[in-house]
Every structure is written in structure tokens, then in C-alpha cells.
Structure 1
Amino acid sequence: MARCDTPGTGPDGPVRRVVVLGASGFIGRQVSAAVRAAGGEPLLVARRPLADATSRCIPLDLIGGGPDALSRLLDTERPAAVVNAAGAVWSRTQETMQQANHTLVETALAAIAAASWRPRLVHLGSVFEYAPPPPGTPLDERAPTRPTTPYGRSKLEGTQAVLAASEAGRADAVVLRLSNVIGAGTSPSSLLGQVAAQLRAAEAGQEAVVRVSPLRASRDFVDVRDTADAVLAAAALPVGGRVINIGRGEAVPVRAMVDRLIEASGRPTRIVEGAGAGVRTNTGLDWMQVATGTARRLLGWSARHSLDSSARELWRATATQTSPPASPSPAQH
């Protein structure tokens, strides 16, 4: 496993060892890779062992197993940070979302409170915790939290638990509310994941037919590599007790992202839009743009990767992707 004495990204000192919850998922894998790239040591926590793990993996069931095992791990390993990249996306059942997005968070908080070693907790929330904004109004951290979907409500309950623990002194924690995260490893159940699957399914040299529900929404997309950079900054900098929105800061038509993915594939394609024609990401937000001033001010962070690059990485990764990640990420829409 990777190990170095001088990784890190902040004035509080280097982030040497990081426990990544949900390490088998889309964002968890990228966070783990970013920790290794920075010279740190990720400890991968997932429900099942990872066959392709390049770092130490600790199988833990945080929903069914309680907090004791994680608390012992924290005291033994003394990590600088715990990143909660676990969670269930909008396409899962309400019970699954409640357990993964709230119950698991409460278990992690109980483990941190019981441990003698106190790491920074970086909790990955979602901008879908907010009330739908009027078109043209960027979402900042002062926006009201009135989610309109079961996914958003379950994510908000997890965030509220983290903020309450931080305020009570039971955890040193920061919440990153992520916009629509895309890139290599994007969930096959998401809109872009399903478009990629339809493109891959086309016979060589034949026109691909991509069937989708009407592409009317505009969303704020952010590359998973940029997201991981924000996580590392939040793990190292003195931003405990804060909510910080993470996005590119622009509303991009979903149709434009589908077009980018088609261009990355290089395949002749016909898009068929219609009710029931394909996946529908019913998130309650048809227009969304994230205000990024807080992330720039507190984390020194802004998105660096272009959406064209994100689309290319997404397409490249689908060549070997055969099944959804075992632990879905917080924001794959």
C-alpha cells in the first residue's frame, strides 16, 4: 500500500491516513486514488472485500454491525480523516436510501464519539437536500433545505445528524453538498450511465439508438476527480462545522452532456426522446446551478476538469464496467 511522510493539502498538516467509507463506490474509489496520489494511505471500508483493491481493505457492515468495529479501527489506525462516501442513490428503494443515507451516518457518528482518537469527518451530502430553486438562482449554502424526493430527504437527515454532532462537540465534521458527479465509474443506473450502456450495445459500424425520456433539465455537473480534490482539501483545512457546496458553478443542459458522451464514443447515434423511453432522473430539480464562492474561499477549490474530459473518462471506463458499484455514491444523477 502507498505510504509517505509528507502528503497533504492544508495548514493543519498532512493528511496521511484516511478511512474511506463506501470505498467500493464511484466516489469512494476516486477519493482513495486521490489519497494515494497525494502520498497518503487510504483504508478502504466496504461491506465486502474488494478483489481489485490496491490498498488495505477492511470489510465492515456499518448498517447491520453497529459502531464498535469502526470505533476500534479508529483507535488502532488513528487516521487523520474519515470520508463518508457511502450512500444509496435515487434509484434505490426508500428503505435502502434511509438505511444507507441516514442510519449508516448515525452509526459512523456513534463510532467516532466512542473512539479515543478523533479524526476529521468529511461527509458527502447532496445539493438535492435543498428546495428546488427558481431557474436562474444559484444554490448557495443559505438556500432552504426542503427536499422534494425521498432521496433528498434521506440525505438531509444524514447531514443534519452530522451537523448536530459537530455542534455538540461529538465530531469534528464538515459536510460537502455535491452536485451531479460524473466521470469514470458513473453508475450504470444513472442517465449518462444508461446512455453509455446503449452506445456500447450497438453493433460495430451500426447506428446506435439511444432511448431517453425528454431531456429538458439543466444541471450542475462536476468531475469526480475534482470532487476528490475537494474532499482532500476539506479533510486537511480548518472547516469543521461547515456546509460547503461543490459544483462547477454552471447550469448545463442534460442534452448537452448526452451529446458530449456521444461525441466521446465516436459512434453514429440517433436519440429517441419520449415518455417511458428511457431512464428518468426524477429528482425534483429541473434547473440547478451551484454557487461555488464558499468552496473557493474556504477550500481554495474550483473545478479544473472540463466536461468534455469527464465525458471521455466516463466512456473509457465503460469498456470494462460490467455491473453497478457495490456501494453507490451520494450523487449520481
Structure 2
Amino acid sequence: MTLVGTQSVPGAPDGSPGRVVVLGATGFVGRHAGAALEAAGHEVIAVARQAAKMPASWQFCPMDLVKDGPDALTRLIEAEHPVAVVNAAGVAWSSSVGVMRQGNQLLVDQLLAALDAASWRPRLVHLGSVHEYTPQPAGVLLAEDSPTRPATDYGQSKLLGSQAVLRSVEEGRTNAVVLRLSNLIGAGTPPGSLLGRVAQQLLARPEPGGAVTVQLSPLRSSRDFVDAKDASEAVVAATRAPGARGRVVNIGSGTSLHVRAVVERLIAASGRRVRLVEDTGGTVRPATDADWMCVDVTAARELLGWSPRRGPEEAVRDLWKAAKRAVGAGGGGGVRRAARTRADAAGRSATRRRRAAGPQGAPTGPKASTRRAEDSRARTWGPPRTARVHERGPRAHHSMQSQGRGDRTRTRGSRRTGAKARTGHGDAGQRTRARGRARAGAGARARARAHGP
């Protein structure tokens, strides 16, 4: 057996602070239970199938009771002499009935076999669920003597585990108490739960209008929600209460809240603008589950000296802060990454559309990109003369300017000649100049004869 962590003296069997084995210590309920036990002075031995982030002060023992059997847990109990074993392991709301039976019934059978085989007798605190009860009409509280005919496969699998623990107590084989927990809220709420789904969607990138879309099945029911920290304090109390042996104790807030009100509290804690969409696609809880639920916590006050102390506002704030921390640490960001990927893809598509359309007034159509490419090359390279100027340098540029001035002079002369030709003035001028030259020549000959040789 491999133990990871610090070692110390065994705990006392009289209920004073000592070691406590927490099964499922890396899960949502197990982490909160371990934190409360450590705060109460207990040393925590965390048992789970795989290692996960946990306090360095906890000892970690990797174990799979379902696959490996009870022997490893028996050896751990014999070696460590824990004052209590807390069973926070199990499967919640799986789509597979077989998986829920393994995690909620077979695991309990292996746990009881391990306790039977050990000579050391710790207190067993088994965490059940209020969904083991028959759904009650609105206004009727769930008490420990309420009928136990669950309406869901999950509730049925949890009930079978709790009944096995109670039989073991009746037979004198186990010192155990069963806590039936209501709906827990707090840091690390599983993403498969209603509020876990809401938190994951709130972490997504906002839409262009600045709002986040939260899509849920219709919010019609009312539930008893309890802070996970409060429920964990009840676990601590159950490890010590002598009068709780063999008893079932309900753990809840004692009030029923509409689930929409709790969702709105979580949205308010996030501080985000939200577009809440309720549709019938997919359900968070089975349709056979009760629409109203409230737990009677009288027995918890009497047997454990426990009462809830926190409200839903504090619980949802803890949930939201933990969800943000998980994303910042690189975990739990699947929904946000998916939303970011969709937004990036939409941005790239918009960019391609803008490029295909071109600037306002630019040509469009199948050949538009070719014409824009040609225009781009023309703007880049310029006319041939300019290119040659840059290639030849300053002297070539001066020579080119002189040549240009000569070209412009010849062009202006050609224009004037063309204008004369079009009006007929060009031929008349030539005849006038020819007659002038002829008269000048005749006058010069006459003067020459008059003066003689």
C-alpha cells in the first residue's frame, strides 16, 4: 500500500481529533468534507482512484474499491487506526444505470466487507441523498421517516447503498450513521449539475452585443439547497455524535427555493450581462423528479447539534469564484475555449467576406480579386519610366527631365503646325514668304547693276 503525506500518532477511539479516512476525497463533496475535518483538527487520509490537487497536509492513498476489492482498505484501517471513515464516493446522475449501481451500491458492499475484516472499528459516516425518498407534494417536508420509493435510478442506487449500511448496523457489524444530503452548492460544484452548467456557460466569451447566452431546460422546480461548507460541518459532527449510531439524518437548509431564483443569484454574482434561454432540449434532472422539495432538519439539530448557517448568496459566490479560478489555472475551460474557437472562426469568416467585397466602390465578382491584384501590382511598381528613374539614380533623373522638356517642346510645335494645317493658314504663309524672298532677290540684283563692277 502506498501512502503519500505525513505520518503522526494514531487518533484516539473516544472521538477526540485523530485520523479520518475520506473515500472519494478528490470529488466535490469529499474535498469539502476533508477541509472541514482538517479544520476541526483531524488528519485526513484521502482515498481516491486517481491523484488530484489537494492540500499538502493530506495523506493520499490510491485505491479502487470496485475493481480491487476490500483488502487494501482493510490493511489501511489496520495500519492507521482512523477514528472515522467518511464515504463521500459515488456516482451522481450518470446516464448509465450500471455505472450508478457500481459506484453507489457495489462500492458500499466492498466498504462494509473491508470494515468487517478489520479488527479496528472506526465510525462510518455514509453520505446518502434526499433523492432516496419518495417525492412529496408541495408543502410536505422530507423527514427521516418519509417513504423511500425513489422516482429515479440515481435515487434507487443510493437507497440500496444506504440500506446495506443500516443492515450492517442492525446486525452489530458496523458503527455507522447515514447522512442524506440535499442539493449542495459551493466551490467545485460539478459541471453536470444545474448550477455547474450555468457557471460554465457564464465563463464563455460574450456575444457581439456584450451578453452571454445561458441556455437551460425550463426552470420550474423548487429545491432545498444547502451550502457545501454547512454540509461538511455536519459530517464532522456525525463522526463524533454518540447518539447518531444507526440513525438516518437529513442534512439541508430547511427551506425550498425556486431554481430560477438560485440561477439568478449566480448570474448576479458573476456580474455579467446574460441572455437566459429556457427550452425543452435536454433536461438537467429527470422528468420524474419532484417539482418541489424541502428537508426537515430537526433530527440534525437534536442528534448532531448542527444547523445550517450560510445562505445561498454566499454559496453561489463561492461557486463563481472557484469557477473563475479554475479557468485562470487552465482547468475547467472547455466551454470557454469552445466559445472562443467559434468566435475566432466567425471573425475569420467576416474578414474573408470583407476582403472579398473590397473597399466601397471597388469591383466585385469572380474577376474582382484578379483586377485588384493587377491594380496592386501597378501601384507597387508604377509606370515603366518611373521605374527606370529609380534604377538609374540622380544623373539619369536629370537627363530624363531634360529629355522630357524637349519632348514637350516638340509636342507643342507639332500641335501648332497641326492647327495651321487644319485652318489653311499654313500654305498661305508659305506662299507669302516665297514672294517676299523673290522680291528681296530682285531688289538686290537691281542695286548691283546700278552701282556697277
4+ residue stretches of structure 1 with deviation over 2 A? Answer: 1-5, 49-54, 202-205, 320-324
Separation in structure 1 between the aligned mates of residue 295 and residue 273 of structure 2, nearest angstrom: 33
Partner of 1:262: 267
User: 2:114 aligned with 1:106, yes or no?
Assistant: no
Letter in 1 for 2:83: A
Contact 2:40 2:236 in 1 (8 A): no
**Counterpart contact for 1:3–1:40, Cα < 8 Å:** no
User: Against the structure 1 CA distance between its residues 249 and 165, is the aligned structure 2 distance closer, same or farther, given a 3 Å change threshold?
Assistant: same
Q: Percent identity?
A: 54
1:212 aligns with 2:205: no
Give CA deviations for 1:44-70 in whole Å, capped at 9, x if unaligned: 000012344421100001000000000
Alignment of 1:226-245 (within 5 A): 226-238=230-242, 239-245=244-250
Please show how residues 77-88 of structure 1 align to structure 2 within 5 Å: 77-88=80-91
Kindly report the root-mean-square deviation, in angstroms, between the aligned alpha carbons of the 2 structures. Answer: 2.1
Q: How far is 1:274 from its partner?
A: 1.2
- Which structure 2 residue ranges, 5 or more long, are not aligned? 334-453
1:175 and 1:68 map into 2 onto residues whose CA distance is 23
Provide, for residues 24-44 of structure 1, a one-character-per-residue CA deviation record: whole Å limited to 9, x for no partner.
100100111111111210000
Does structure 1 residue 155 correspond to structure 2 residue 158?
yes
> The residue matched to 2:203 in structure 1 has which SS?
helix
Tell whether the 8 Å contact from 1:2 to 1:36 is kept in structure 2 after alignment.
no
Structure with higher RCO (Cα < 8 A, 6+ apart): 1
Q: SS of the residue aligned with 1:319?
A: helix
Alignment equivalent of 1:194, drawn from 153, 175, 197: 197
Give me the whole-angstrom Cα distance separating, in 2, the residues matched to 1:84 and 1:174.
11
In structure 2, distance between residues paired with 1:2 and 1:262: 41
**Alignment CA distance shift 1:95-1:184 (3 Å):** same
CA contact (8 A) 1:78 1:119 kept: yes
Larger proportion of strand: 1
Q: Report SS of the residue matched to 2:150.
A: coil
Contact 1:91 1:189 in 2 (8 A): no
1: CA distance between counterparts of 2:277 and 2:137? 29
CA distance in 2, matches of 1:224, 1:4: 29
Q: Which has the higher helix share?
A: 2
Cα distance per residue 1:68-120 (max 9 Å; x no partner): 00001001000000000001001341111000000000000000010000000
Q: Distance in 1 between matches of 2:6 and 2:60?
A: 13
CA distance in 1, matches of 2:6, 2:245: 27
Which stretches in structure 1 are left out of the alignment for 5+ residues? 325-333
Aligned residue for 2:16?
14
Q: Which range moved further: 132-141 or 13-22?
A: 13-22
- Where do 1:114-153 residues align within 5 Å? 114-153=117-156
Whether the 8 Å contact between 2:199 and 2:323 is mirrored in structure 1 is yes
* Structure number, greater radius of gyration: 2
Q: Distance in 2 between matches of 1:255 and 1:319?
A: 22
| TM-score normalised per structure 2 | 0.68
Aligned residue in 2 for 1:330: none
